[in-house]
Amino acid sequence: MSRACPTAPGRICAARFALALLMAATAPMGMAQELGTGNGPQIGWPAPDFAAVDSRGATRHLSEFRGKPVVLEWTNADCPYTRKHYTSGNMQSIQSLAEQRGVVWLSVISSAPGKQGYVDGAQADRLTKSRGASPAAVLLDPSGAVGRLYHARTTPHMFVIDANGDVQYMGGIDSIATADVADIAKAEPYLKEAMLAVAGHQPVAHSVTKPYGCSVKY
């Protein structure tokens, strides 16, 4: 693996890479992904670029948004965990805040045809309108290629990428893993905190958390 360290040349970069390998090798089974190591996205490293068709039929690349922070939201409208955050208005409020702070919000639907949550472009647009959502784009990923590239496991599963194109957060939308709307107010809002930190050029307090929700229906 030979990704460049975005902010650290030479020996510092090599040291970071060696540390990542050590963490992966010594972590308990199944923890490598939680630590941000392995073949998926890694904290502080360039986010994997991709091409995906949006709900309007345009091909979008992650790289086209370089220069702005980006939120990736894996979503499935039929998942009760996703509904929790949309019926309450929680997801829409964070999307609105993202727009105010110059953050690009991309909703990704990786449900395969015939699986829960699958929609075509027109259905995706009707869904966005009906629930008052405001993503910059809804990306359709029926092959699951983008989801697998990011090791997306749940709906929702959230990622925050900084203006330089580096991953700064991945994990859950908040700290309470239930489908109960009443728990939103009691939870630590991991995604919101990370997004605001990245938009404000501040360090992220919890850069990797455990995602929760329905499994992505690849």
Closest CA to 119 of 133, 109, 107, 132: 109
Q: CA 154 from chain center: how many Å?
A: 10
Check pLDDT > 60 for residue 10. Answer: no
Per the CB < 8 A criterion, the answer to whether 71 and 158 are in contact is yes
Q: For 151-174, what is the mean pLDDT? A: 98
83 and 156 part of one domain: yes
Q: Which domain holds residue 14?
A: 1-39
**Verdict on whether the full-model pTM lies above 0.85:** no
Shared domain for 58 and 17, answered yes or no, is no
* Cα angle value 169/174/175 (rounded, 5°): 110
Q: Angle, nearest 10°, between helix axes 90-100 and 80-87?
A: 60
Based on the domain organization, do 101 and 148 belong to the same domain? yes
Q: How many domains does the chain have?
A: 2
One domain, residues 147 and 69: yes
Instruction: Give yes or no: residues 17 and 53 share one domain.
Output: no
Judge if 18 and 47 occupy the same domain.
Answer: no
* Res. 37: pLDDT tops 60: no
Residues 25 and 128 in one domain: no
Q: What are the backbone dihedrals phi and psi of residue 15, each rounded to the nearest 5 degrees, phi first?
A: -65, -40
- The verdict on 193 and 101 lying in the same domain is yes
Q: Is the domain of 175 the same as that of 107?
A: yes
**By 3-state DSSP, what share of the chain in percent is helix, strand and coil, each rounded to 5?**
30, 20, 50
* Same structural domain, 153 and 200: yes
pLDDT at 143: 98
Does 213 score more than 60 pLDDT?
yes
Same domain, 19 and 47: no
Read off the CATH number of the domain in which 88 is found.
3.40.30.10
Same-domain check for residues 205 and 165: yes
Mean pLDDT on 119-139: 98
Checking if the pLDDT of 12 tops 90, the result is no
Mean pLDDT of the chain: 88
